[in-house]
A and B are shown apart, each in its own frame.
Chain A
């Protein structure tokens, strides 16, 4: 009886297992394996050597790029989360149910168009003689250098992550049990104290998951730091592109990719445990 039941369950789980193996575990294992391959005469050869790892991790520019990417992704996470919160708070508490639904629908629309296209429109806006500087000149300011700066990169990351983070934050805030917020006020908490000691802790899981998504997307994004950030100094995704272009060094690019995967796994795992951690 027990066996039969297991077989039944297994049959229905098979598609999931197959897809996971085919499209996630397989490529991942291949990428890890590839990081030990060698390139000879612009051709990849199967091998199991530490050369790529030693070469990449002993280079200063690799660690510079690593720290710079972590810094940019962290900055993007903080900026996006802080900018998204007032919007999400307003959508969750200050508008009607139907307005909220429409707002979420509208926030999904940006994902209909290519992220690259949206980034290029920023290129026009942020350029030295672009729309933004023209408007600033009108009120007697500028011109400011906005392209090829950290500011440019952050604008690009925001284009990628902002709508998603607002949606995630809105959903988590609007799911808070309203009586908890009323209870806080009832027990003597003013607006800010209620926000800090009840609203944010109640929505903690959603807020952290929003931030994790923002970090993951920014960390792995090539477009924003390349086109709007000017690619100097390079981030890890830019380093991957450069490495593959220079002498077909796919194995070395794989080293970068594996390091990125490990970093993201650590960050995501830490953040999720933090989100679900009980006090004491």
Chain B
């Protein structure tokens, strides 16, 4: 039995539908990331789970029991807020003790338990500090300790890392991943950041306009997007329109602006010759050479712009027929090519790299 089940859950705010007919199951001990741009319904989903919003329709079950009507205070679903929502009028340890105090646990016991969690989060020495004396990363740890001190079966996180600088985000990702594995409890993590979701989650849910677009492992979502929206949302994909030229078993030949492409078709739906289709080639799936190689899937391009993002370089190329292509390569891989705006080069791709959008 799945630990958390959303069954046909709908949430309306007046006339606007925030979440539409959501069906989703979450297994015990899973790290699930819900991803989407702002207003897609991901935070509403999380808040319904915490009881801060009531579903307009459908049913949410926790361990098989309907929880739609449970008050927030009656649920064991602590949430880590984007703003962290630490109580500024309480000290660090008083913040962590809060959940225990509300459950009527005596002072000595709750102090002991709170200290255990502060130690786990490596901030025991800050116990007596005020919240406004802490750094961003320290506050993050206090918020986690406060949420986890009651040893809940599920932890909900609403973009908790969005206020931190890049270095700290990577460190906190490590902390969260390890914590989730050690505790073995379910983490449901809402984010708009693909890198955070892919770095930590076992499964990723992509939402758009209140609907789930795709659920799957990060790599699956990345390599096999279920829709054009997902293909555009995750990473830098090149999407080409095309027309089916011929079908040979599971192999489909498609006429595109880059010429003839072949792709695997796993028979997800009927497909016939001359259907309009879309194919995807990920930006990292191109090879760049200075001369035409032996690969027949090759095309001549010139460099339009170059963007250096750390270890990876992002290139915008244009074919002779005017098709724009996004390409990402390791910086040291293309250093020897000595690229400038206007440089002419050849790109090629292996047939495997072509993915046919369902």
**Residue of B81, B101, B128 touching A183 (CB-CB under 8 A):** B81
Report B72-109 residues with CB < 8 Å from chain A CB: 72-73, 77-79, 81, 83, 85, 87-91, 94, 98-99, 101-103
A187 near B102: Cβ-Cβ < 8 Å? yes
B150 close to A (CB within 8 Å): yes
- Given A179-B83, A184-B98, A186-B52: A279 and B90 within 8 A (CB)? yes
B83 near A186: Cβ-Cβ < 8 Å? no
Binds B, one of A48-56, A92-100, A196-204: A196-204
Q: Give every chain B residue within 8 A of A280 (Cβ-Cβ).
A: 91, 128
Which B-chain residue is minimally distant from A180 (CB atoms)? B85
By the criterion of a CB under 8 Å from any partner CB, how many residues of chain A are at the interface?
22
Q: Give every chain B residue within 8 A of A180 (Cβ-Cβ).
A: 85, 87
**Residue of B77, B89, B128, B130 touching A186 (CB-CB under 8 A):** B77
Q: Give every chain A residue within 8 A of B79 (Cβ-Cβ).
A: 182-183, 186
B89 near A187: Cβ-Cβ < 8 Å? no
**Residue of B89, B94, B150 touching A188 (CB-CB under 8 A):** B150
A179 near B102: Cβ-Cβ < 8 Å? no
A186 near B50: Cβ-Cβ < 8 Å? yes
Q: How far is the CB of A172 from chain B (nearest CB, A)?
A: 13
State the CA gap A3–B50 with chains docked (Å): 60
Q: How far is the CB of A18 from chain B (nearest CB, A)?
A: 38
Report A166-219 residues with CB < 8 Å from chain B CB: 177, 179-180, 182-190, 193-194, 197-198, 201-202, 204
Which B-chain residue is minimally distant from A278 (CB atoms)? B130
B89 near A177: Cβ-Cβ < 8 Å? no
Q: How far is the CB of B100 from chain A (nearest CB, A)?
A: 9
A204 near B83: Cβ-Cβ < 8 Å? no
**Residue of A189, A201, A278 touching B102 (CB-CB under 8 A):** A189
Binding site for B on A (CB under 8 A): 177, 179-180, 182-190, 193-194, 197-198, 201-202, 204, 278-280
A177 near B91: Cβ-Cβ < 8 Å? no
Q: Give every chain A residue within 8 A of B130 (Cβ-Cβ).
A: 278-279
- Given A183-B85, A188-B73, A188-B150: A279 and B102 within 8 A (CB)? no
- Output the residue of A177, A183, A201, A280 with the most chain B CB within 10 A: A183
A-B contact count (CB 8 A): 72
**Residue of A177, A189, A197 touching B85 (CB-CB under 8 A):** A177
Q: Give every chain A residue within 8 A of B71 (Cβ-Cβ).
A: 185, 190
A-B contacts, 15 listed (Cβ < 8 Å): A177-B85, A180-B87, A183-B85, A186-B73, A186-B78, A186-B79, A187-B98, A187-B150, A188-B103, A188-B150, A190-B73, A190-B102, A202-B87, A202-B89, A278-B130
State the CA gap A193–B102 with chains docked (Å): 7
State the CA gap A278–B129 with chains docked (Å): 11
Q: How far is the CB of B9 from chain A (nearest CB, A)?
A: 19
Q: Mark B148-163, 1 if CB is under 8 A from A, else 0.
A: 0010000000000000
B146 close to A (CB within 8 Å): yes
Q: Give every chain A residue within 8 A of B101 (Cβ-Cβ).
A: 197
B85 near A279: Cβ-Cβ < 8 Å? no
Main secondary structure of the interface of A (DSSP, over half): helix
Q: How far is the CB of A191 from chain B (nearest CB, A)?
A: 8
Q: Give every chain A residue within 8 A of B147 (Cβ-Cβ).
A: 187
A sample of 10 more A-B contacts (CB under 8 A), given A180-B87, A182-B81, A279-B90, is A179-B83, A183-B79, A186-B72, A188-B150, A189-B73, A190-B71, A190-B73, A194-B73, A201-B90, A280-B128
Which A-chain residue is minimally distant from B94 (CB atoms)? A279
State the CA gap A7–B94 with chains docked (Å): 49
Report, nearest first, the 8 A-B pairs whose CB atoms are least far apart: A183-B85, A188-B102, A179-B85, A185-B72, A187-B99, A201-B89, A189-B102, A185-B73
Q: Mark B35-62, 1 if CB is under 8 A from A, else 0.
A: 0000000000000001110000000000
Q: How far is the CB of B213 from chain A (nearest CB, A)?
A: 28
Which B-chain residue is minimally distant from A187 (CB atoms)? B99
Q: How far is the CB of A39 from chain B (nearest CB, A)?
A: 53
- Given A179-B85, A202-B89, A279-B94: A187 and B146 within 8 A (CB)? yes
State the CA gap A188–B100 with chains docked (Å): 8
Q: Give every chain B residue within 8 A of A188 (Cβ-Cβ).
A: 73, 99, 102-103, 150
Q: Mark B96-130, 1 if CB is under 8 A from A, else 0.
A: 00110111000000000000000000000000101
State the CA gap A194–B51 with chains docked (Å): 15
Q: Give every chain A residue within 8 A of B91 (Cβ-Cβ).
A: 279-280
Q: Give every chain B residue within 8 A of A177 (Cβ-Cβ).
A: 83, 85
Q: How far is the CB of A182 from chain B (nearest CB, A)?
A: 5
**Residue of A187, A194, A201 touching B78 (CB-CB under 8 A):** A187
Q: How far is the CB of B110 from chain A (nearest CB, A)?
A: 12
State the CA gap A106–B58 with chains docked (Å): 43
Q: How far is the CB of A25 from chain B (nearest CB, A)?
A: 36
State the CA gap A198–B98 with chains docked (Å): 10
State the CA gap A186–B77 with chains docked (Å): 7
- Output the residue of A186, A201, A204, A278 with the most chain B CB within 10 A: A186
